[in-house]
A and B are shown apart, each in its own frame.
Chain A
Amino acid sequence: MDVEAPVDYIALTRATYDALGYSPYQWAERPDPPPWARMTTPLAEATVALVGSGGAYRRGQVAFHWRDDTGIRLIPADQPATDIRITHFAYDLEPAREDPNIVFPVDRLRELVTEGVIGGLAPTAVGCMGGIYSARRTEEELAPAIVAEVTAMEVDLVLLVPV
């Protein structure tokens, strides 16, 4: 095994599915050049919005379910991550539940504002549960909801933190 190379999760998933007798998982493949929006504000002046797909919600909100939940949760990013909760069916949740910043880094981004690395952090962050097996529903339901939220925020950069 090459410990220098990144783990090839697509190959690993294929092997796991084969061994279990499942049909191959269809990963989203987008070989065409992606759309491009130029970054016009220097990083140190840029306001950043956080979007995380690790299943973050806030205590008091309805949690995500684990069967293609395409909903989003709006989470305050201007206060400590104390009330952030994590739910997702497909990864080891314990580390993220102990320290939500490893999948939803609101505390660290606020610290980078203080340091002057970024200009600001949007006061609201967007959480979703990325374990959705339908690329169509992700594109038709989840993505437009996220785009509507971050567009309304009028930020300079959106930081995506998938799991």
Chain B
Amino acid sequence: MPTLCLTSAYSITAAANPPRAAFSDLPLGNTAGRPHEPEFQRELLRRALVAGVAIDRPGTIVDTGMRWDADGSWKRWATSTGTSRSADSEADDRRQRLDFPQYQDEADRLAAESAS
């Protein structure tokens, strides 16, 4: 089954080495584009799909050329889990890994419980 992997984490994808990948230079958590910008998101997908399926050497990562901003200044706040301007880059800003369902909101929990 042919696959194409989008990525905004070049080093992690290079290590995992999928057959076809398309890199866009965006903060973690925005793999498929800037929020609320449908044309940016469509252009990212167009470029990734067109260049991605043209890959003929397994393990290639193409660059879509899509960038978060012109000067890359977001990278000054990049942490291993994304961007957080207030957080010390050496702090652990992950949430606790709880082992029960983590709903987006209470209404979702109620919707799931009434569905089951």
Contact = CB atoms under 8 A, between A and B. Distances in A.
Interface string B72-94: 11011011111110000111101
A6 B30 CA distance: 14
Contact of A98 (B2, B36, B84): B36
Nearest to A46: B53
A96 B30 CA distance: 7
A6 B18 CA distance: 18
Contact of A150 (B1, B12, B111): B1
Question: How big is chain B's contact interface, by range?
Answer: 35 or more
Given A6-B23, A64-B102, A158-B1, A105 B59 contact: no
B97 A89 contact: yes
Tell me the dominant secondary structure on chain A's binding face: loop
A79 interface: no
B97 A98 contact: no
Contacts of B71: 3
Interface residues of A, number: 81
Contact of B16 (A7, A29, A109): A29
B31 A102 contact: yes
Interface in B89-114: 89-92, 94-104, 107-109, 111-112
A144 interface: no
Interface in A5-22: 6-13, 15-16, 19-20
A9 B72 contact: no
B11 A8 contact: yes
Nearest to A15: B90
Contacts of A158: 1-4
Interface of B: 1-7, 9-13, 15-19, 23, 25, 28-36, 38, 41-42, 45-46, 49-50, 53, 58-59, 71-73, 75-76, 78-84, 89-92, 94-104, 107-109, 111-112, 115-116
Interface of A: 1, 3-4, 6-13, 15-16, 19-20, 27-39, 43, 46, 48, 54, 59-68, 85-87, 89-93, 95-99, 101-105, 107-109, 111-112, 115, 117-118, 131, 147, 150-151, 155-163
* In the complex, the 5 A-B pairs of residues with the closest C-beta atoms, listed nearest first: A3-B72, A6-B10, A91-B29, A19-B90, A67-B99
